[in-house]
Amino acid sequence: MIEVLAEIAGSVFKVEKNVDEGVEAEDVLLILESMKMEIPVEAPIPGRILEIRVSEGDTVEEGQVLAVLAE
């Protein structure tokens, strides 16, 4: 299992993928908004989404787990 972490603090602008969905490396999982900038959060590996731990509008801290992937 691979945890996808927030690289910056901000809010969840949009969730692009769903639980159980297959993804390729660099697919955008969700978009964070910080300081009026949109930052895509990408899958680090190809796999399947086991969990998405945030919802649109949630505030997140740097280092927070956003999603969990299975290889």
Provide φ and ψ at 62, rounded to 5°. -55, 130
Helix (H, G, I), strand (E, B) or coil at 66: strand
Residues of the chain with pLDDT under 70: none
Which numeric CATH code is attached to 2-70?
A: 2.40.50.100
**Which residues in 1-71 belong to E strands, given as ranges?**
2-5, 10-15, 22-23, 28-34, 37-42, 47-52, 59-60, 65-70
Provide the whole-model pTM. 0.92
pLDDT at 68: 98
Pairing of strands 47-52, 65-70: antiparallel
pLDDT at 25: 96
How many Cα atoms sit within 13 Å of 42 on the Cβ side? 7
